[in-house]
Amino acid sequence: MNNRVLSWLTGVISNPVTTFHEISREKPVGWALAVYLAGVLLVLLALDTGFLFAVFWLFFAVVGIVILAGVFHLAALLLGGRGGYTGMVCALGFAGFLYFLIPPLYLLGVTGGIPVRLLVFAFTLLIMLWMLILYALGIKENYQLTAGKSVVVALTPLVLAGLSGVAAILLLLVVVAFVVILAV
Amino acid sequence: MGVKGLAALLIMLVSVAATGAVHLVFPEEEEVVPREGVMVANLQGAIEEGGGMFMAAAISPQRVREVLQQAEEDASVGAVVLRIDSPGGSVAASQQISSLIKDFEKPVVISMADMVVSGGYYISAPADGIVAHPGTITGSIGVISTFVDLEGFLENLGLETDVIKSGEHKDMFSRSLTEEERELMQELSDEAYNQFVEDVARGRDLEISRVEEFATGEMILGSKAERIGLVDRLGGEEEAVEMAGELAGIEDPAVKRYGEMGFWDMLISPGFQASSLLEHVVLPEEVILMDKAKRGGEPRLRYEVR
């Protein structure tokens, strides 16, 4: 692991704007995926999910980053952004460096009392929020979008997931109504 | 390597160390072995073949098989207590259940409730132990076969039956029995009786002549049954569980109850009663009587009380 990659890792935390600007220009996709998968693997090992579950989640993580980058890419292009899909994958991969913070927090949580656990829970939520902000910054640097549009793009998967949930519930209601009508 | 590089390495090292520390703090959990116990299953009603949707209130080979199968598959069950309340029933079903209990690998103890007579006792005999209340009615070792002679009934109704038969005795239950046919039926009954006596003697480890002494069809109380060796101990379900625990080598066994009444049983049983009620409301009395008479005309040897 060379000095440049190490400085990007720290940069994701200390100076994300400049770091994502450099990453989107150089597109170190191999390192990005390695950092992301190492982070996910460490979390799975710390949580001791079991072998099969870990394999499933690793697969899900790989598929997830591909799809997430795709959704961001399409949304950014629709809002007038100019940038490549690979650059987006790289930004997401390096943002995954935040996963490295979860095992120490988990250790604190399992050894501490209830107040510590509550703090750990709050910190974990903060990390998730931080990751979302990193996504927005990565989108901004990769697609040369304004801050507002970048936030909109970053929130697109959440909005889509919410809409899918509502659609699924509506579909279920329609199916139930159909079955009831048939039964009557 | 600059300060930034060192900071990144430090974060990664702390993360890896924390992951390892989590496993040191919480080593692999040992598999929790559930406390060994005794499964208690309630079996009530007449002993009949079948056991389908409408047989929730009967003791059928299928039901007993399900109970024993569950006890076999559950590693935490060391022995089984069958709490029985039955007036007996069909010979074949009784013999089938008797075989299931005899061949079951884990100890089986019978806990007799109010009445366990005839076929009820037959299925109890091969168990590893029998516990009865002093006032439990048991015994009635014998065979009975009754059927209705419909000749006079049909004559009164003005009905005539034409019979075309191949075989001299093929229509013997459509009319009054001849003396020869009565002897034939008696032979069948005696044979089933001998099987009953032999199986009780084998199951209870008694001499056949000893069993024959009280195999008169008479009913006896649990207190007498214990004195003559038909029952091992006096007591209720708790004593039966205790005995089952002793036989399985389990100290202070946990009691695990077999499903009292499943969803279908709850759903179907009242429906069955309702259909029976409906039958009495809708059908003319003569039709019901005729149906009963027809069913009574089916000859069956039974280990039951009449």
Query: If you ran DSSP here, which 8-state letter would residue B144 be given?
Result: B
In the predicted structure, residue B126 carries a pLDDT above the cut 90? yes
Q: So where are chain A's domains?
A: 3-183
* The one catalytic residue among B118, B124, B140, B256: B118
The whole-angstrom separation of Cα B247 and Cα B62 is: 26
Q: So where are chain B's domains?
A: 34-304
Report CB contact under 8 Å: B2, A48. Answer: no
Distances (CA, A) of B117 to B68, B98, B121, B214, B306: 22, 14, 5, 13, 11
The whole-angstrom separation of Cα A32 and Cα A5 is: 9
The whole-angstrom separation of Cα B68 and Cα B75 is: 12
Listed residue (B199, B196, B37) closest to B107, CA to CA: B37
* pLDDT tens sequence across A7-63: 888 888 888 899 998 998 888 989 999 999 999 998 888 887 777 888 888 898 899
**Among B4, B11, B26, whose Cβ lies nearest the Cβ of A7?**
B4
* Nearest-CA distance A164 → chain B (Å): 35
pLDDT at A10: 87
* Three-class HEC string of B30-50: CCCCCCCEEEEEEEECCECCC
**Confidence at B272, pLDDT banded by 50, 70, 90:** very low
> Of all residues in chain B, what percent carry a pLDDT higher than 70?
79
Opening angle at CA A143, ends A138 and A145, nearest 5: 90
Q: Are A95 and A138 in contact (CB under 8 A)?
A: yes
* pLDDT tens sequence across B196-221: 999 999 999 999 999 999 999 999 99
pLDDT at B10: 86
Q: Are B70 and B142 in contact (CB under 8 A)?
A: no
Q: Cβ of B271: how many Cβ atoms within 10 Å?
A: 12
Most B-contacting residue of A3, A5, A10, A15 (CB-CB within 10 A), to test interface: A10
The whole-angstrom separation of Cα B219 and Cα B139 is: 5
pLDDT at B273: 46
pLDDT at B296: 54
The whole-angstrom separation of Cα A138 and Cα A39 is: 18
pLDDT at B284: 64
* pLDDT tens sequence across A126-167: 999 999 999 999 999 999 999 999 999 999 999 999 999 999
* Nearest-CA distance A148 → chain B (Å): 30
**Among A6, A101, A104, whose Cβ lies nearest the Cβ of B8?**
A6
pLDDT at B23: 76
pLDDT at B270: 46
Q: Cβ of B260: how many Cβ atoms within 10 Å?
A: 9
Residues in chain B within 8 Å Cβ distance of A7: 2, 4-5, 8
pLDDT at B53: 47
* Nearest-CA distance A165 → chain B (Å): 33
Residues in chain B within 8 Å Cβ distance of A103: 15-16, 18-19, 22
Report CB contact under 8 Å: B19, A103. Answer: yes
In the predicted structure, residue B302 carries a pLDDT above the cut 80? no
Mean pLDDT of B274-286: 56
List residues bridging with A14 in a β-sheet. none
Mean pLDDT of B223-240: 95
> Of all residues in chain B, what percent carry a pLDDT higher than 90?
51
- Looking at the domain B34-304, which fold is it? 2-enoyl-CoA Hydratase; Chain A, domain 1 (3.90.226)
pLDDT at B27: 61
